[in-house]
Amino acid sequence: MIGGAGRGRRRASAPASLPTSTSARRTEHSVSCWYCDCKIYGFNDTLFGLGSKYARFMRGWFSIGVCFSLIALVGISLMLLWESIGVFYFRSGCLSDWLKNLLTSGHSISIMDTTIIIISTILSIAFHEFGHAIAAASEGVEIEYVAIFVAVLFPGAFVALNYDLLQNRPLFSMLRIYCAGIWHNVVLCAVCVLMTSLLPVLLYPLYVSGDGLMVSGIPRTSPLSEYLSAHDVILSVDGMKITRTDEWIKILNQDATAKSSDPEFLEGSQRYVATSSGKGYCVPDPWMDASKNLWQIRDKVPCPDELIAFEKAISNDSAIFTEKIGRGSGQKEVEGKYCLIAKDVVKLRKCGNGWQRTEDDGSSHACFEDEYCLVPALTPGFSWIEVSYAKPYSWGCLQRGGNLSSSSHATDNDLGQSPCEGSFVYVGDLLSAARSVRLSPYRPRWPLLFLADVPCILGNGLSSFIHASAALAVVNSLPVYYLDGEAILETSLSYISWFSRRQRHKILKVCRLVWTVLSVITFSRIFYSTTLFYGFV
């Protein structure tokens, strides 16, 4: 994928001389059925002059990179070996998940996200090779050319150096050159993480954060598109205020993965079964009587589209149970169900143990005597969430002069009564709903909507830089063919004096073969699982 410094000429003889005129011959191409590259000579003098000018500082800088790269090589190699051994014992290791997160940035596949990923990958590769070139120049090794290539379908780049000069340098100087690319990628990751943490401060003059999540994009195919639109602000989910995108994903994942073990218990002559939804509402008796009349009219036909089916629930310690209805009890099944309007039910007091409670929430979630706790009757694979949102940039809200800070403290009974705020209930697959909406923790201070997407683009760009640079650092730390890890391991073995040159060559050959095979297997599994994820989910 990425060739280290001088990797292209490691086993070839050095050229007689460098090109004498970079202006007359700036590029050179070579094309075959599986490989093509473009050699660029125009940067040679500039890079060599920059590295020579600050040689003393550069040597100290890249010496730090040697220590870090050696630790990374040993650590990541052992992790890969341990995980490969664990496969035979049917253990799933964390390295595959970590690499999968690095290699897939997690953005939706859109034109903007694809462009961001491509640009961040190209710049990360360029910064990697810039490290090799500057480190070589600081050691007095001349640069032959910078090459950009595509092998099969995989792009990459490498810096070709004068091999004779490189081999005549001390071992630690060679390590500084080989480790420079990994070190530069790590530094780029650190800079991007720092900028991400400082993003609220940098955007503070024009944007507000910490007061809900703004919808920066929602496709028409999204199951939430009928409730939300671009530039709406999500205030809370199930009564919990959210200010970060990871909170949105966490809450929806918790609701989607919550499964019941279906325990049963008897109360009198009735049998009850645990329900997967512990989110109940205290429904008054008159509402239940009206719904019962509707059931008698419709008999066994399900609730109309605008209504949701509910069941009676009772609490037993930490679980919520509903009455279990056996087959053949059609009339009893009708009596046990209630059709209610969801947007009216969500204004009622909550009951049950399925709600996300805050530390200062002292409510008992118990109903009065003239009320009964009803929970939604959900089909398997479906969940229930209650979302409160605001429309601070809608025409009605701007005419009213409303603002998000006032609406965010509205009570449940006030939601939906003004053009600035509202609430809805979504019943369905929460995982697909969570992935279909693009959210940003920043919103413009003024209704300048052309600036609304800037924080999202900056955040995604920094995230893509972190993923791309970290992936390059991890992959190049592995001692496999044609990557920096091979040269780092070979040079490091030269420090072990009790091994002969032939023994060092055998050790290098075995390590290179073993970790190449393990890497191919691991990345094939990651590619296969990623293809299944995006192809069938």
Cβ–Cβ under 8 Å, residues 472 and 205: no
**Is 142 part of the annotated catalytic residue set?**
no
Question: Residue 483 contacts by C-beta under 8 Å, 6 or more apart in sequence?
Answer: 1, 2, 3, 4, 7, 475, 476
The token pair that represents 143 in the structure block: 């640069």
Rounded to whole angstroms, the Cα distance separating 139 from 169 reads 8
**Phi, psi (degrees; rounded to nearest 5) at 445:** -70, -30
Q: What is the CA radius of gyration of the chain?
A: 31
* DSSP-assigned letter for residue 229: -
* Helices 484-493 and 501-536, packing angle to 10 deg: 160
Nearest residue to 131 via CA among 178, 173, 175, 74: 178
Percent helix, percent strand, percent coil in the chain, to nearest 5? 45, 20, 35
Q: Which of 28, 83, 129, 142 is catalytic?
A: 129
Which secondary structure element, helix H or strand E, spans residue 338, and what is its range? Answer: strand 337-341
Rounded to whole angstroms, the Cα distance separating 53 from 48 reads 9
Burial of 359 (0-12, 13-18, 19+ CB in 10 A): exposed
Chain centre distance of CA 290? 47
Question: Residue 89 contacts by C-beta under 8 Å, 6 or more apart in sequence?
Answer: none
Rounded to whole angstroms, the Cα distance separating 71 from 69 reads 5
Nearest residue to 132 via CA among 184, 177, 176, 65: 177
Rounded to whole angstroms, the Cα distance separating 526 from 532 reads 10
Catalytic residues: 129
